[in-house]
Structure 1
Amino acid sequence: MRFHVDGWDPTYGSSVENAENGIGRSEAEVTLDVELAPADWKPISPSQVSDPGAVLFVDGVRRVEARIWIDQPPAAEPATSAVSTARDAVMALCASYAAGTVCCCPSRGAHLLTIDYRRGLFTTATNAVDVPTTAGTYKANITSDDQEENLAVLLSTALQRQLADLEVLVATNARTALAGHGVSEGSDLLVVDGPLRGRTQLPRALGFIKSHRTSYLPPDLHAMIATLAPSERSPVFSMGTSWDRHAWYLRLPCPPGAPWAGVVRVECAADIPPAKAIELANLSQAVLPRYASIEYKDTRAPQNLVPVAGLERELRRHLGNPALLSRAMRVAAAA
């Protein structure tokens, strides 16, 4: 019996999500002939490209510190009522989140370039205000209630939007900071860990998706992805769901194993010319495999790129000690 072990730590799920049931079929509108006609699709080998002046890796982390309940004011009572109206309460999330960039450039190697962190209170309660604690202030973020959406999902989405906005801010600041690194303006490459959604306005940016839950390609082309050799990629295609982008699949260097071992999906903005998207795809082949992680060092190898793994550790350190934050929240609630 031949079998392969998924190199990912099981606590992170699988690099191919829903692997036991197969990858789900996407409803996205896909255009396959951006680079090659579907009949001509084949693995594309790396080509000679010029290195970027610097590679900036952007990532963010989030952590829910507490779920709290915010009392709602009672409804107005009739003047003749002798019974007090029961008070209601709305669930909210208190969370910490952080984003930063690691710069890899010839003059200074890999180093932390920008970092920022925030604490937020996420709720639909219109009477919510900032919550000051001894460990920092949780800034109120009030989102519109949606009776058709699960409240926990609604609040988690609001938190994710704030994190995405913070990632855009640190990426913009990072490019400003590059002026002192001897990097020519417009020569850097930005790699966002995760989909590029909400960040497509960033120039020369790639979204880097480590795991797969959906199949975007027809069955025969989807099967071709499993034949990619290390550093080979698929042709560029475009797809549209709630947002549009160019995309391609790339296999990172890794030991032989499962059909999709080491395969990532890379994205770029849809509003750039196809020729420019192909240039970025070629550049990703030359750049991203250099930063692939190794199994004995990282339980999500090779997809969890080395600079991103180091950045994640630093960002989580900036979130603070969860036990101290929880205690500070309980003290603030009692006060």
Structure 2
Amino acid sequence: MSSSQPSLPDLDVAGGGMQFNVDGWEPEYGQALDMELQLAESRADVDPDIEVPQDRWRPIAVDPAVTAPRVVLFVDGVRRVDARVWIDEPIGADGVVPTAATAGVCASYAAGVVCCCEGKAHVIAVELCRGMFTIAPHATDVHTRAGTYQACFTVAKEGTPLPVTLSSAVQERLAGVELRTANRARSSLAGHVEVDDDLLVVDGPLRAGAHLDRAVGYIKSHHSEYLSRQLNSVVGSLGPRQRTPVFRMVTTWDRYSWYLRLPCAPAAPWAGVIRVEASVDLVPEQVFALANLTQVVLPRYASAEYKDARAPQNLYPIGGLEKDLRHKLGDQQLLYRALRQAAAM
């Protein structure tokens, strides 16, 4: 029986075939290194001479004198759009019902903190919120049988599509919730851990939490090329648990940063590479100490490929917290039906 499918050419695997690597992350998560944006010129102002001069940049090995803190706190948040809505314009004084409407989104978002201590991990703070995000100033809270969506007014930005404006508003609210849960978690450690014997790891940029003590931002994926090609070659040459020297970078805000490779199977040059951030309010020696500490702490929580589609960057405590928070957001279909029922009343 003949087949209508074209036959594939024989490949000479042993003789000069192309060698390549497949990104370890599943396509639904994008990729750890965004090559399209990576090739774009970064607008960041970078000073690479903070720890060592750039002509002496080399991978920095783990300092054997550094010991892990008794407690490591991981902060993360999740968000989800439950429904997109249209908000009618108010009825005029003449009683005329307008036909215009403004778009909005009803979103659920939550943040939490996982405490890793004494060989165990447990959630010590969680906050769940629901909001109706819109540029309509007359919007009010939406009450449903499944909960209330608080009216969250945001300002339209010229040249920015409305969906992007609303999405940014949700992210800003989530950042505030993450900050509150982090502060609450730190307060709950009183009597649980010695002073200054913890590390706070914020999943994502440290921007909102830059004032927190002993805190670092943890960036899993890379969307911009901050360093020169010569210095990027140092990133690609990192071995497991090695880091780059600390550099200072300014975009819309100022912070210290460094790259670190987590343990992983040999693959592409940036496989398993993360970027870590620290507050610019710290003196350089404090930042260097934090950078050395992350080499000891973060690799021990790296995930394995057979357990996590975003291994090794999606650390086990963060992955577990994400699942717990998404569960707490509730059933999306139930919330969607509740919103439709509320709209019909």
Q: How does 1:58-207 map to 2 (within 5 A)?
A: 58-73=75-90, 86-106=98-118, 109-181=120-192, 183-207=193-217
| Aligned-residue offset at 1:299 | 0.4
CA contact (8 A) 1:100 1:315 kept: yes
Long gaps (5+) in structure 2: 1-16
Q: d(CA) in 2 for partners of 1:52 and 1:23?
A: 38
Q: How does 1:259-278 map to 2 (within 5 A)?
A: 259-278=269-288
| Aligned-residue offset at 1:21 | 7.0
Amino acid at match of 2:131: G
Q: d(CA) in 2 for partners of 1:187 and 1:84?
A: 65
Calculate the TM-score normalised by the size of structure 2. Answer: 0.92
| Secondary structure at 2:328 match in 1 | helix
Q: d(CA) in 1 for partners of 2:39 and 2:77?
A: 26
Q: d(CA) in 2 for partners of 1:21 and 1:185?
A: 42
Paired residue total = 327
| Aligned-residue offset at 1:24 | 2.3
Q: Which sits farther off after the overlay, 256-265 or 145-154?
A: 145-154
Q: CA RMSD in A?
A: 1.5
1:31 is aligned to: 47
Q: d(CA) in 2 for partners of 1:10 and 1:187?
A: 39
| Aligned-residue offset at 1:138 | 0.2
Q: d(CA) in 2 for partners of 1:286 and 1:189?
A: 11
Long gaps (5+) in structure 1: 78-82
2:4 is aligned to: none
Q: d(CA) in 2 for partners of 1:55 and 1:3?
A: 37
CA contact (8 A) 1:73 1:87 kept: no
2:32 is aligned to: 15
Change (3 A) 1:170 1:102: same
| Secondary structure at 2:232 match in 1 | helix
Amino acid at match of 1:270: V
| Aligned-residue offset at 1:180 | 4.3
| Aligned-residue offset at 1:75 | 6.0
Q: d(CA) in 1 for partners of 2:38 and 2:161?
A: 26
Amino acid at match of 1:194: G
2:21 is aligned to: 4
Match of 2:223 among 213, 220, 229: 213
Match of 2:257 among 239, 247, 250: 247
| Secondary structure at 2:255 match in 1 | strand
Q: d(CA) in 2 for partners of 1:290 and 1:200?
A: 24
| Aligned-residue offset at 1:74 | 5.3
| Aligned-residue offset at 1:147 | 3.3
Amino acid at match of 1:68: V
Q: d(CA) in 2 for partners of 1:191 and 1:164?
A: 14
| Secondary structure at 1:14 match in 2 | coil
Q: d(CA) in 1 for partners of 2:315 and 2:302?
A: 5
Amino acid at match of 2:124: L
| Aligned-residue offset at 1:85 | 7.2
CA contact (8 A) 2:77 2:112 kept: yes
| Aligned-residue offset at 1:86 | 4.0
1:56 is aligned to: 73
| Secondary structure at 2:221 match in 1 | coil
Percent of paired sites with the same residue:
52
| Secondary structure at 1:285 match in 2 | helix
CA contact (8 A) 1:74 1:87 kept: no
Amino acid at match of 2:39: I
Amino acid at match of 1:109: K
Q: d(CA) in 1 for partners of 2:179 and 2:66?
A: 27
| Aligned-residue offset at 1:225 | 0.7
**After TM superposition, what 4+ stretches of structure 1 lie above 3 angstroms from structure 2?**
20-23, 74-77, 83-86
Amino acid at match of 2:53: A
Q: d(CA) in 2 for partners of 1:224 and 1:164?
A: 32
2:6 is aligned to: none
Q: d(CA) in 1 for partners of 2:81 and 2:289?
A: 39
| Secondary structure at 1:208 match in 2 | strand
1:42 is aligned to: 58
Q: Which sits farther off after the overlay, 294-303 or 194-203?
A: 194-203
